[in-house]
Amino acid sequence: MTDRVYNFSAGPAVLPVPVLEEAQKNLLSLPGVGMSVLESSHRSPHFTEIIETAEANLRNLLNVPDNYSLLFLQGGASLQFSMIAINFLGGTEKPADYILTGSWGKKAIKEAKREGTVNVAWDGADGNYNRVPEASELKLSDDAAYVHFTSNETIQGVEFPVEPSVGDTPLVCDSSSDILSRPIDIAKYDLLYAGAQKNMGPSGVTFVAISDRMLGKAPEQMHALLDYNLMAENKSLYNTPPTFGVYLVMLVTKWLIEEIGGLEQMSVINKQKASMLYDAIDESGGFYKGHAQLKSRSNMNVTWTLETPELEKEFLDEAKKQGLCELKGHRSVGGIRASIYNAMPVEGVTKLRDFMATFKESH
Amino acid sequence: MTDRVYNFSAGPAVLPVPVLEEAQKNLLSLPGVGMSVLESSHRSPHFTEIIETAEANLRNLLNVPDNYSLLFLQGGASLQFSMIAINFLGGTEKPADYILTGSWGKKAIKEAKREGTVNVAWDGADGNYNRVPEASELKLSDDAAYVHFTSNETIQGVEFPVEPSVGDTPLVCDSSSDILSRPIDIAKYDLLYAGAQKNMGPSGVTFVAISDRMLGKAPEQMHALLDYNLMAENKSLYNTPPTFGVYLVMLVTKWLIEEIGGLEQMSVINKQKASMLYDAIDESGGFYKGHAQLKSRSNMNVTWTLETPELEKEFLDEAKKQGLCELKGHRSVGGIRASIYNAMPVEGVTKLRDFMATFKESH
């Protein structure tokens, strides 16, 4: 334990220590089962209990009504970029509206364009993706197949404080980097998806919540692994799911319920952590420059720059010596990025905040 | 350790104990790194070393020449059923030849038919999929885009003793359930794929070996997660791979090299294990009836029936009491199936063999 660093990686990211400890304890044999979950058939009674518990925990945390299916898929958010377009844009003459607030939205659009017409309802390029749009700025189509947005752009550190209003058009959201960080009203979404490797578990599991209404719009004939209906009918067990990943999602959601007390409480802690870092930036007199505009600041990924790349390198090197790791900004934008997902303890953020102050003093 | 059973699951399946022990030891922190591999960025230096070692181990074990790319993908063999057809059958007028020896081949054909013409070059239905074809029985097309076969049918327990000869037509193989169980001549294959959850690691990782020649046949425009070239160019890191799964593949292949001594040695052990069970069947005077014909018997999945379903149930119940678990045949064919992959110790098979003798004596 003592050799663990504070890991600010954007994903795969830090996991709760109690989750890792439970997984470690049972890695050679689940209690009473005599084999590891890694070795267990996805159709065994004990894995059935695991996947059903994971789903039940997610229904509980996200307050999901019965007319939504919850799926555990593979391929990451990147495969969802394609699956969504193949299923819901491919066979229609309608356009799909994409609200573009950063790098992941761009990737989603790239795949969608292979299948049909994409209307970019807003593009944050002018401000170098430092904010989300006002409602009045959105140029939504009258007849869009769906509206897609990225609730939190991991690379830029830009987060929608609340989902955009899109009327009756199906709302589709890439929530990879802020799912389970705060309560949401899932009834506003027809399809919500998230790679697990930030707030839910390890990489290799992709969570999808999809409404019956949206399932009804999917084509009847579809490649099995791209077929939402087939996955829903088989409760994610059409083929072998990433079983160990689902097990960790079960443990992480259990931790959220039992240790944290739910998403309201998690949200309070997350805001507190983010405020510490944004305050350090704002009170630095320009020594640290935040990337995101005030109202669009992410509570998950705090991004900032220093005066020069050399100074940033020095910041990163000194931070690492103090056990503050993986703070380098994404290679596409540079600077510093502190990813402070659910599992990042307050102590880690406090230590980073204090380091920021000391570093500034000494430079 | 003492509470571990002998797990004959067809997959996800038993893993080598030293692999589980090393993963367990480091689950909270990789030595010198300070974080779990579960929490590590796929672009971190330590994960780079893991994925490169996994690839190097596989190149070593399978004797893979430089003109092949080795990929770690998601979606299981089932997504490969579609990806292969989308990439190599979709854009061509040529048919694809499928040699059908069991349940998984059927699923592969189902997806391929969505993309083009499938010629079933041989169908084992007449014998209820109890054997592989002779070379003379294959009705191959003159101009097939590729020939697909399933080297080992997990459900029926039918295995090709050697790959079919198909001339210069690209040979594509689903090797999910016998990969790494014996040496193969990879130069005979243009695309070899395998879900990891039998002989390589946990579910959620799909291994693909693909030749440069085959990569050259793939379309230039393709959805990112279905694009072999993109995956090869990015060394499986276009998006986040299933990192923990790749780590276990690295440990399993290390175990194969260092503890077992390579695939020749593994093959000797596997044949020895399989012979014990087939001998028990053959010497039972008809009490146990093997499904597969002699020359097509699988060294990985040994399948047999007893006189009645009631007797089979009794067999399974008594076996389980002795710690011999997951022996029930697949729900689609019934009977008994003992999956004896690389990681199943000889002691487990010996105990099963002895149990079979005792059970027969007492009935």
**Residue A236 shares a structural domain with residue A356:** no
Cβ contact (<8 Å) for B40 and A11?
A: no
DSSP class of B114? T
Last residue of a domain, one of A206, A230, A259: A259
* Banded model confidence at residue A1, pLDDT cuts 50, 70, 90: very low
What does A98-125 look like in DSSP terms, one character per residue?
EEE-SHHHHHHHHHHTTTS-EEEEEEGG
**β-pair partners for A194:** A207
The pLDDT of B257-269, averaged and rounded, is 98
Is A184 a domain residue? Answer: yes
Least confident of A60-69, B32-41, B54-63, B332-341: B332-341
Write the residue in B14, B23, B225 that is nearest to A78 by C-beta. Answer: B225
Size of interface A-B (CB pairs under 8 A): 205
Looking at chain A, the whole-number percentage of residues with pLDDT higher than 90 is: 98
**Residue A232 shares a structural domain with residue A291:** no
The pLDDT of A184-190, averaged and rounded, is 97
**Residue B123 shares a structural domain with residue B107:** yes
Distances (CA, A) of A68 to A25, A163, A212, A253: 34, 18, 6, 18
* Banded model confidence at residue B1, pLDDT cuts 50, 70, 90: very low
Cβ contact (<8 Å) for B9 and A40?
A: yes
* Banded model confidence at residue B331, pLDDT cuts 50, 70, 90: confident
State the Cα–Cα distance between residues A348 and B39, nearest whole angstrom. Answer: 15
- Which of B4, B50, B74 has the highest number of chain A CBs within 10 A, making it the mutation to test binding with A? B74
SS3 label, residue B318: helix
Q: Where are the alpha helices (DSSP H) in chain A?
A: 17-25, 45-62, 76-88, 103-112, 212-217, 228-233, 243-255, 263-282, 309-321, 346-361
Sheet holding A336-339, edge to edge: A289-290, A301-305, A336-339
Quick check: is A122 catalytic? Answer: no
Cβ contact (<8 Å) for A76 and B225?
A: yes
**Residue A254 shares a structural domain with residue A335:** no
Model confidence pLDDT, tens digit, residues A70-119? 999 999 999 999 999 999 999 899 999 999 999 999 999 999 999 999 99
CA proximity to B204, closest of B77, B111, B56, B296: B77
Using a CB-CB cut-off of 8 Å, the residues of chain B touching A114 are 221, 223
pLDDT value for A2: 55
The verdict on whether omega for the bond into residue A183 sits within 30 degrees of 0, i.e. cis, is: no
The pLDDT of B168-190, averaged and rounded, is 98
Is A1 a domain residue? Answer: no
State the Cα–Cα distance between residues B44 and A66, nearest whole angstrom. Answer: 40
CA distance B285 to chain A (A): 32
Residue B334 has pLDDT above 90, yes or no: no
Write the residue in B34, B78, B325 that is nearest to A5 by C-beta. Answer: B34
Give the active site residue among B122, B178, B190, B198. Answer: B198
Strands A191-195, B336-339: pairing kind: unpaired
CA distance A185 to chain B (A): 28
Tell me, what CATH number does B317's domain have? 3.90.1150.10
Closest CA in chain A for residue B197: A39
pLDDT value for B333: 78
CA distance A310 to chain B (A): 21
Cβ contact (<8 Å) for B238 and A78?
A: yes
**β-pair partners for A193:** A174, A208
Residues 6+ apart with CB under 8 A from A329: A155, A303, A305, A335, A336, A337
pLDDT value for B332: 74
State the Cα–Cα distance between residues A200 and A194, nearest whole angstrom. Answer: 9
Cβ contact (<8 Å) for B248 and A38?
A: yes
Cβ contact (<8 Å) for B114 and A221?
A: yes
Quick check: is A104 catalytic? Answer: yes
Model confidence pLDDT, tens digit, residues A215-263? 999 999 999 999 999 999 999 999 999 999 999 999 999 999 999 999 9
pLDDT value for A333: 78
Closest CA in chain A for residue B195: A240
pTM equals 0.98
Last residue of a domain, one of B229, B259, B289: B259
Residues 6+ apart with CB under 8 A from A296: A101, A130, A131, A132, A158, A159, A160, A161
**Residue A255 shares a structural domain with residue A277:** no
pLDDT value for A334: 81
For chain B, what is the domain count?
2
**C-alpha dihedral sign at B251, B257, B260, B262:** positive
Looking at chain A, the whole-number percentage of residues with pLDDT higher than 70 is: 99
Residues B199, B173 contacting (CB under 8 angstroms) = no
**Residue B31 shares a structural domain with residue B162:** yes
Model confidence pLDDT, tens digit, residues B83-141? 999 999 998 999 999 999 999 999 999 999 999 999 999 999 999 999 999 999 999 99
**Residue B76 shares a structural domain with residue B112:** yes
CA distance B149 to chain A (A): 19
Residues B74, B238 contacting (CB under 8 angstroms) = no
Last residue of a domain, one of B259, B279, B304: B259
**Residue A219 shares a structural domain with residue A141:** yes
Write the residue in B15, B82, B242 that is nearest to A36 by C-beta. Answer: B15
Give the active site residue among B94, B97, B174, B255. Answer: B174
Is B1 a domain residue? Answer: no
Residues A74, A242 contacting (CB under 8 angstroms) = yes
Closest CA in chain A for residue B44: A326
**Residue B113 shares a structural domain with residue B53:** yes
Tell me, what CATH number does A234's domain have? 3.40.640.10
- Alpha-carbon dihedral angle through residues B10, B11, B16, B17, given to the nearest 10 degrees: -100
DSSP class of B128? T
Cβ contact (<8 Å) for A27 and B29?
A: no
Using a CB-CB cut-off of 8 Å, the residues of chain A touching B10 are 41
Using a CB-CB cut-off of 8 Å, the residues of chain A touching B78 are 224-225, 238-239
**Residue A241 shares a structural domain with residue A296:** no
Closest CA in chain A for residue B76: A240
Residues A116, A65 contacting (CB under 8 angstroms) = no
Quick check: is A113 catalytic? Answer: no
Distances (CA, A) of B221 to A84, A120, B87: 18, 22, 10
Using a CB-CB cut-off of 8 Å, the residues of chain B touching A111 are 223-224
Using a CB-CB cut-off of 8 Å, the residues of chain A touching B234 are none
Is A57 a domain residue? Answer: yes
Q: Domain limits at B188? A: 18-259
ipTM of the complex: 0.97
- Which of A6, A39, A238 has the highest number of chain B CBs within 10 A, making it the mutation to test binding with B? A39
* Banded model confidence at residue A344, pLDDT cuts 50, 70, 90: very high
pLDDT value for B2: 55
**Residue B288 shares a structural domain with residue B179:** no
CA distance B147 to chain A (A): 20
CA distance A23 to chain B (A): 8
- On average, the pLDDT of chain B sits at 97
- On average, the pLDDT of chain A sits at 97
**Residue B224 shares a structural domain with residue B307:** no
Cβ contact (<8 Å) for A20 and B9?
A: no
Model confidence pLDDT, tens digit, residues A170-183? 999 999 999 999 99
